[in-house]
Amino acid sequence: MHTKMVLTFCTASVLGGALIAGSVFGKADEKNMSDSWITAKTKIALFADSRVKGSDISVATTDGAVTIRGKVDSAEAKQAAEGVAKSVDGAKTVKNDLQVVAPSKREATDDKDDAITARVNDQMAKDTQLKNAGIKAQTNAGVVSLTGEVADLATSAQASWSAWQVPGVKSVKNDLRVKEKA
């Protein structure tokens, strides 16, 4: 536990330093702002906000569209996290996939979610069409979210179908992007 807190503090300090350095050298041009920069700024803002537990929220950004996932204690914390993410420079839109899970049920839910994610990843590794597709699975309260970029729509559909076959999956959110043909 102590190691996790120190690591979290160090990560927040490094990212915070980068954010401060960025603001010292001037505000970044929104058109040139990278997704990783927006993600880092959003994570720092969530860590700094006392209404939410930033360590329980994951952030992903694609083309300025921010997605927040994880578990929060209340509907108020969910709305606060969304507001924080929307206030970050460069965030064009915010998709709030946070799940409200009471702290007393969190441990059991987290254990189940980790097991479901592992089973989904195993299922995809067995499928020749999916095993090297670069699909990332994440589970929150039994809802599996699939992210990444796939070659075609058939691969995207196969990934959804494959995830649905795993015991314990309540639903599947397919956020896979299909690569543009050159």
Tens digits of residue pLDDT in 74-126: 999 999 999 999 999 999 999 999 988 877 776 666 668 889 999 999 999 99
Sheet holding 136-140, edge to edge: 136-140, 143-150, 171-178
Number of structural domains (the chain) is 2
Q: Are residues 133 and 50 in the same domain?
A: no
Does this model's pTM top 0.85? no
Residue range 28-83, pLDDT digits in tens: 444 456 889 999 999 999 989 889 988 889 899 989 999 999 888 899 999 999 99
Contact (CB, 8 A) for 45 and 84: yes
Cross-strand bridge partners of residue 176 = 148
Residue 3 is predicted with a pLDDT of 45
Sheet holding 93-100, edge to edge: 57-62, 65-72, 93-100
- What is the domain range of residue 116? 104-178
Show Cβ contacts of residue 58 under 8 Å, excluding neighbours closer than 6 positions.
68, 69, 70, 138
Q: Which of 61, 84, 100 is the last residue of a domain?
A: 100
Q: Which of 38, 69, 100 is the last residue of a domain?
A: 100
CATH number at residue 141: 3.30.1340.30
Q: Which of 100, 124, 151 is the last residue of a domain?
A: 100
Q: Are residues 59 and 117 in the same domain?
A: no
Q: Are residues 114 and 152 in the same domain?
A: yes
Q: Are residues 8 and 92 in the same domain?
A: yes
Residue 14 has pLDDT above 50, yes or no: no
Q: Are residues 63 and 133 in the same domain?
A: no
Q: Are residues 39 and 117 in the same domain?
A: no
